[in-house]
Amino acid sequence: MKLEANRVYNFNPGPATLPIEVLKEAQSEFLNFNKNGMSIVEISHRSKPYEEVHAQTKSDVLELMQLGDDYEVLFIQGGASLQFAMIPMNFASAEHKGSYVLSGTFSSNAYKEANILGVGEIAASSKETGFHHVPNQSELKINPDAAYLHVCYNNTIYGTEFHYIPGTNGVPLFADMSSDMLSRPIDFKKFDFIYAGVQKNLGPAGVVLVVAKKSLIEKSRDTLPTMLRYDTFYKKDSLYNTPPEFCIYMVGKVAKWIKSQGGLSAMAERNAKKAKLLYDAIDNSNGFYRGHADKDSRSFMNVTFRLPNEELEKKFVAEAAANNLCGVKGHRSVGGMRASIYNAMPIEGAATLAEFMEQFKNHNS
Ligand X SMILES: *Cc1c(COP(=O)(O)O)cnc(C)c1O
Rounded to the nearest angstrom, the gap between the alpha carbon of residue 98 and the centroid of all alpha carbons in its chain is: 21
What does the alpha-carbon distance between residue 120 and residue 99 come to, in Å, rounded to a whole number? Answer: 6
Question: What is the number of the residue whose Cβ is closest to ligand X?
Answer: 79
- The secondary structure of 197-242, three-state, reads ECCCCCCCCCCEEEEEEHHHHCCCCCCCCHHHCHHHHHHCCCCCCC
Q: Among the candidate windows 1-9, 116-124, 127-135, 171-179, which touches ligand X by CB under 6 A?
A: 171-179
Please compute Rg for the chain using Cα positions: 21
User: What is the tally of helices (H) and strands (E) in the chain?
Assistant: 10, 14
Q: Among the candidate windows 75-83, 221-229, 283-291, 308-316, which touches ligand X by CB under 6 A?
A: 75-83
- The CB-of-58 to ligand X minimum distance in angstroms stands at 20
Residue 200 is a binding residue for ligand X (CB under 6 A): yes
Residue 81 is a binding residue for ligand X (CB under 6 A): yes
- The CB-of-52 to ligand X minimum distance in angstroms stands at 26
End-to-end C-alpha distance for the chain, whole angstroms: 32
Q: Among the candidate windows 17-25, 69-77, 173-181, 316-324, which touches ligand X by CB under 6 A?
A: 173-181
Residue number with CB closer to ligand X (80 or 353): 80
Instruction: Compute the half-sphere exposure of residue 327: CA atoms within 13 Å on the CB side of its CA.
Output: 19
> With contacts defined by CB under 6 A, how many residues of the chain interact with ligand X?
12
Residue number with CB closer to ligand X (274 or 338): 338
What does the alpha-carbon distance between residue 218 and residue 242 come to, in Å, rounded to a whole number? Answer: 22
Residue number with CB closer to ligand X (65 or 281): 65
- The CB-of-104 to ligand X minimum distance in angstroms stands at 8
Instruction: Compute the half-sphere exposure of residue 149: CA atoms within 13 Å on the CB side of its CA.
Output: 23
Residue 152 is a binding residue for ligand X (CB under 6 A): yes
Q: Rounded to 10 degrees, what is the CA torsion of 197, 272, 12, 316?
A: 160
Interface residue with ligand X among 8, 15, 30, 79 (CB under 6 A) is 79
Residue number with CB closer to ligand X (14 or 291): 14
Interface residue with ligand X among 33, 75, 106, 342 (CB under 6 A) is 106
- The CB-of-267 to ligand X minimum distance in angstroms stands at 17
Residue 197 is a binding residue for ligand X (CB under 6 A): yes
Beta bridge partners of 141: none
Interface residue with ligand X among 9, 10, 11, 14 (CB under 6 A) is 14
Q: Among the candidate windows 21-29, 54-62, 77-85, 239-247, which touches ligand X by CB under 6 A?
A: 77-85
Residue number with CB closer to ligand X (57 or 302): 302
- Is the separation of the CB atoms in 194 and 216 below 8 Å? no
Residue 156 is a binding residue for ligand X (CB under 6 A): yes
Residue 6, C-beta contacts closer than 8 angstroms, at least 6 positions apart: none
- Is the separation of the CB atoms in 73 and 209 below 8 Å? yes
Residue 178 is a binding residue for ligand X (CB under 6 A): yes
Q: Among the candidate windows 111-119, 174-182, 240-248, 293-301, which touches ligand X by CB under 6 A?
A: 174-182
The H or E element spanning position 360 is helix 347-364
Does residue 247 come out as left (phi exceeding 0), alpha (psi in the -120 to 50 range) or beta? alpha
- The CB-of-362 to ligand X minimum distance in angstroms stands at 33
CB atoms < 10 A from the CB of 282, how many? 22
Residue 80 is a binding residue for ligand X (CB under 6 A): yes
Residue 179 is a binding residue for ligand X (CB under 6 A): yes
Residue number with CB closer to ligand X (50 or 193): 193
The H or E element spanning position 72 is strand 71-76
- The CB-of-7 to ligand X minimum distance in angstroms stands at 23
- Is the separation of the CB atoms in 210 and 76 below 8 Å? yes
Applying CB under 6 A, the residues found at the interface with ligand X are 14, 79-81, 106, 152, 156, 176, 178-179, 197, 200
